[in-house]
C-alpha cells in the first residue's frame, strides 16, 4: 500500500498492509487530515519514525467482531495499556505506556490502511459526510476545553490564533457564549468565523479592547503555538481568570510567568478530547467545519499536500486515501 513514511523527512513509500493485532481492526482510510502536530513531527517533534497522520475517517475491512465490517469509523489516537493506575482511574489518554497513532510508536493514517483497537473506534452517523467526519479528532480536542473549564453564556472569552485549531475552538466557544472575540492575523481565515457572526479583531485592536480591566476576558485560549501568544493571553486575561494552553511549543520559550502569580491566573493545559461529543455536534449540524478545508490531495501526492499545509495561508489540507 501507499503510505507517507517519516524518517528524518517525509517519504511516500510502498509498504506492506498492516496486520491487525488481537483486538484491533483493519481500517481502509477514506480521508485523512493534516494537523499542525504533523508539521511539528516533520521538524523533529517526538522523534517519531513511521507512517504519519492521526486525523482520519475510514471503513472497517477486517475485525474479529464481524459486526464492525463495512462500518464507517473515526478512531481515538491514544492506545492505552488498560491496566496501569492511570488507565484504571479513567485517564487512558495519559497512560504512560500508550502509543499514539502517527505520533508515538504507532503507524498512522496517511496510508491506504491502518490498524486500531476496536475500543478506540467510534461509528460515524450516516448523515455526517467524510469531509465533516475527518474533523472529529481536532473538534474533540477543541471540545476538551469545556471538559476542563466552565464557560457561561455571559462569560467574556478570547481565542488567540486563527489557525485550524483556533477556528474550531472559536466555533465551539461560539456555541456557549455570546461574548466571544477571536484574535488573528489572517483576514481570509477570520472571514470564516465572521460568516458565523463571530467578532474578530487584529492584535492591536484586541490590545486596545482589553486594556481596561472592566473588559478583560475571563477566559483566554492560546492557540497560536508561539510564546508571544501566551504573553498576550497572560496580559489580556482578567485577574483570577483562566488561560487555556492548547498548543505545544517546539522549543522552550522564555516566558515571563510573573503575571500568572500576580494576577492569580489559572493556566490550563488541554490536549485530546471526547469523540462522542464531537460526533454529536457534527451529526446535529451545530458546527460545519468544511469551510476550513483549503485543499484536497490524493494520497499519491501526500508530500505536496504536506508542503501545502505548511503554507501560512493554508488551513486544513486533506488527503483522499
Q: Figure out which of the listed residues 7, 19, 96, 284 binds its own copies, where binding follows CB under 8 A.
A: 96
Give me the least distance between CB of 229 and its own copies, in Å please: 12
Binding flag, residue 104, its own copies (CB under 8 A): no
Contacts of 260 (CB under 8 A, 6+ apart): 234, 267
Binding flag, residue 262, its own copies (CB under 8 A): yes
Q: Which is nearer to its own copies, 255 or 310 (CB)?
A: 255
Please state whether 147 falls in left (phi above 0), alpha (psi between -120 and 50) or beta: alpha
Residue found under cell 521538524: 43
Contacts of 99 (CB under 8 A, 6+ apart): 78, 79, 105, 106
Binding flag, residue 214, its own copies (CB under 8 A): yes
Q: Figure out which of the listed residues 39, 118, 260, 310 binds its own copies, where binding follows CB under 8 A.
A: 260
Report how far residue 125's alpha carbon sits from residue 230's, in angstroms, rounded to the nearest whole number.
37
43 contacts 250 by C-beta, under 8 angstroms: yes
Q: Which is nearer to its own copies, 8 or 269 (CB)?
A: 269
Binding flag, residue 300, its own copies (CB under 8 A): no
Cα–chain center distance at 192: 18
Binding flag, residue 61, its own copies (CB under 8 A): no
Interface stretch with its own copies, choices 56-64, 69-77, 79-87, 123-131 (CB under 8 A): 79-87
Q: Which of 26, 58, 53 is nearest to 124 (CA)?
A: 58
Q: Which is nearer to its own copies, 191 or 266 (CB)?
A: 266
Burial 19-40 (b: 16+ CB within 10 A, else e): ebeeebbbbbbbbbbbbbbbeb
# binding residues, its own copies (CB under 8 A): 38
Binding flag, residue 148, its own copies (CB under 8 A): yes
Q: For the residues of 87-111, what is the DSSP string, one character each?
A: HHTT-GGG-TT-EEETTBEE--SSB
Angle between helices 164-174 and 136-148 (to 10 degrees): 50
Q: Figure out which of the listed residues 19, 123, 175, 240 binds its own copies, where binding follows CB under 8 A.
A: 240
Please, which of residues 215-234 interact with its own copies by CB under 8 A?
A: 230
Binding flag, residue 254, its own copies (CB under 8 A): yes
Binding flag, residue 263, its own copies (CB under 8 A): yes
Give me the least distance between CB of 318 and its own copies, in Å please: 25
Please, which of residues 268-297 interact with its own copies by CB under 8 A?
A: 268-271
Report how far residue 68's alpha carbon sits from residue 20's, in angstroms, rounded to the nearest whole number.
14
Interface stretch with its own copies, choices 26-34, 161-169, 235-243, 296-304 (CB under 8 A): 235-243
Interface stretch with its own copies, choices 71-79, 83-91, 172-180, 185-193 (CB under 8 A): 83-91
H or E, element range at 171: helix 164-174
Binding flag, residue 264, its own copies (CB under 8 A): yes
| CA dihedral for 173, 58, 307, 103, sign (positive or negative) | positive
Q: Which is nearer to its own copies, 117 or 259 (CB)?
A: 259
| CA dihedral for 11, 12, 15, 19, sign (positive or negative) | positive
Report how far residue 135's alpha carbon sits from residue 283's, in angstroms, rounded to the nearest whole number.
12
* 2-6 sheet: strands from edge to edge: 10-14, 2-6, 50-51
Q: Which is nearer to its own copies, 31 or 230 (CB)?
A: 230
Binding flag, residue 120, its own copies (CB under 8 A): no
Q: Which is nearer to its own copies, 86 or 283 (CB)?
A: 86
Binding residues vs its own copies (CB under 8 A): 84-86, 91, 94, 96, 148, 213-214, 230, 238-240, 245-249, 252-271
Amino acid at each position: 500500500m501507499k503510505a507517507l513514511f517519516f524518517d528524518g523527512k517525509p517519504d511516500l513509500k510502498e509498504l506492506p498492509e498492516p496486520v491487525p493485532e488481537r483486538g484491533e481492526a483493519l481500517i481502509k482510510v477514506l480521508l485523512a487530515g493534516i494537523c499542525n502536530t504533523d508539521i511539528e513531527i516533520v521538524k523533529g517533534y517526538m522523534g517519531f519514525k513511521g507512517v504519519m497522520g492521526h486525523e482520519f475517517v475510514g471503513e472497517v475491512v477486517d475485525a474479529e467482531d464481524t459486526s464492525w465490517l463495512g462500518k464507517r469509523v473515526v478512531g481515538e489516537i491514544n492506545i492505552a495499556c488498560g491496566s496501569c493506575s492511570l488507565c484504571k482511574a479513567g485517564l487512558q489518554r495519559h497512560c504512560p505506556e500508550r502509543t499514539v497513532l502517527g505520533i508515538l510508536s504507532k503507524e498512522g493514517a496517511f496510508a491506504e490502511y491502518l490498524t486500531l483497537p476496536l475500543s478506540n473506534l467510534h461509528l460515524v452517523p450516516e448523515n455526517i459526510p467524510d469531509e465533516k467526519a475527518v474533523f472529529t479528532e481536532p473538534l474533540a480536542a477543541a471540545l476538551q476545553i469545556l471538559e476542563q473549564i466552565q464557560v457561561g453564556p455571559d462569560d467574556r472569552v478570547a481565542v488567540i490564533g486563527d489557525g485550524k485549531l483556533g477556528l474550531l475552538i472559536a466555533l465551539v466557544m461560539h456555541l456557549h457564549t455570546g461574548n466571544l472575540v477571536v484574535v488573528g492575523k489572517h483576514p481570509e481565515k477570520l472571514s470564516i468565523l465572521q460568516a458565523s457572526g463571530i467578532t474578530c479583531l487584529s492584535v492591536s485592536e484586541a490590545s486596545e479592547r482589553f486594556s481596561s480591566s472592566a473588559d478583560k476576558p475571563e477566559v483566554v485560549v492560546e492557540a497560536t503555538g508561539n510564546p508571544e501568544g501566551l504573553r498576550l493571553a497572560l496580559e489580556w486575561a482578567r485577574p483570577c481568570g483562566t488561560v487555556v494552553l492548547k498548543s505545544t511549543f517546539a522549543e522552550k520559550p522564555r516566558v515571563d510567568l510573573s503575571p500568572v502569580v500576580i494576577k492569580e491566573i489559572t493556566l490550563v493545559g488541554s490536549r485530546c478530547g471526547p469523540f462522542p461529543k464531537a460526533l454529536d455536534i457534527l451529526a446535529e449540524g451545530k458546527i460545519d467545519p468544511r469551510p476550513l478545508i483549503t485543499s484536497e490531495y490524493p494520497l499519491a501526492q501526500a508530500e505536496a499536500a504536506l508542503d501545502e499545509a505548511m503554507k501560512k495561508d493554508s488551513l486544513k489540507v486533506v488527503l483522499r486515501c
